[in-house]
Amino acid sequence: MIIAEAKPNSELLEMVSDCSKVLVVGCKGCVTVCNVGGAKEVGVLAATLKIARRRQGRTIAVDEVTLERQCDPEYVDEIKDRIGDYDAVISIACGVGPQFLSERYPSARVFPGVNTKFMGGAVAHGVWEERCAGCGQCVIHNFGGICPIARCSKSLQNGPCGGSDHGKCEISKDVDCIWDVIVRKMMSQGRLDELLKFRPPKSWTTSRDGGPRKMIREELRI
């Protein structure tokens, strides 16, 4: 799923400093699962904004709504009758949400309430890690089912580099060297010879480098 984290309250307050009526829009998708943009967080943010404003000696009206998904026009449509009532909208979905909102409602001012971090999952309660870089051409089977594109700091395909130190990456002792993990796993499976093959430069045309991406599946179109 997509992992996001809340923006600091001070940043959000600054964004809406000239607004007196705001709609906070949550999403029941990924951001609900990673506890940053669901109905609960919508309520918390609304209350926070009101309290902070009161401390400044001003008031702000904040309404709340949480959509099934903000990355789907069908659900984005659900606020069409009320969006005109607000000076601004704060979306606390991933970066897709505020963009779908601003595309659907061109006259609305839409602010992002969270920072979208990465595609990954929860490895423990309250701990999320990146797993996928969305390069568009999956090659993890060559690396013991582990993605060096997303998880090696240098995205090396013929790693590990000389900075691998006791299983840790040279950039920080808090970062695992994923190539250490890959090598050990391939050794344990008796497949080390596969890693010894030279991996030629990858085509990045399917990644962001090839330009903004779009996918069409004809069989699903109506």
Partner 1 sequence: MSEFKSGSNLEKVLRAGHFAFTGECGPPTGANVEALKKKAAYLKGMVDAVNITDNQTAVVRMPSWAASLIVMQEGVEPNFQMVCRDRNRLAAQSDVLGIYAHGIRNMLCLSGDHQKFGNHPDAKNVYDIDSMQLIHTVKTMRDEGKFLNGQDIDVPPKIFIGAASNPFAEPFEYRVHRLAKKIAAGADFVQTQCIYNMDRFREFMKQAVDMGLHEKCYILPGVTPMKSVGMALYMSRSVPGMDVPEDLIKRLRGAGKGKVAEEGIRFALEQIEEFKEMEGVAGVHLMAIEWEHRVPEIAERAGMLPRPSV
Find the shortest distance in angstroms from Cβ 207 to partner 1: 7
Which residue's CB is nearer to partner 1, number 162 or number 201? 201
Distance separating the N- and C-terminal Cα atoms of the chain? 27
Which residue's CB is nearer to partner 1, number 51 or number 171? 171
Which residue's CB is nearer to partner 1, number 8 or number 210? 210
Find the shortest distance in angstroms from Cβ 129 to partner 1: 23
> How far apart, in whole angstroms, are the C-alpha atoms of residue 164 and residue 152?
10
Which residue's CB is nearer to partner 1, number 158 or number 189? 158
Please answer whether residues 24 and 90 qualify as being in contact, where contact means their C-beta atoms are separated by less than 8 angstroms.
Answer: yes
Contacts to partner 1 by CB under 8 A = 201-205, 207, 209-211
Find the shortest distance in angstroms from Cβ 153 to partner 1: 15
The phi, psi pair for 118, rounded to 5°, reads -170, 175
Find the shortest distance in angstroms from Cβ 38 to partner 1: 35
Which residue's CB is nearer to partner 1, number 189 or number 205? 205
The amino acid present at 190, given as its one-letter code, is: G
Mention every residue, 6+ apart, whose C-beta is less than 8 A from residue 28: 38, 39, 66, 67, 68, 69
> How far apart, in whole angstroms, are the C-alpha atoms of residue 73 and residue 163?
46
Find the shortest distance in angstroms from Cβ 66 to partner 1: 36
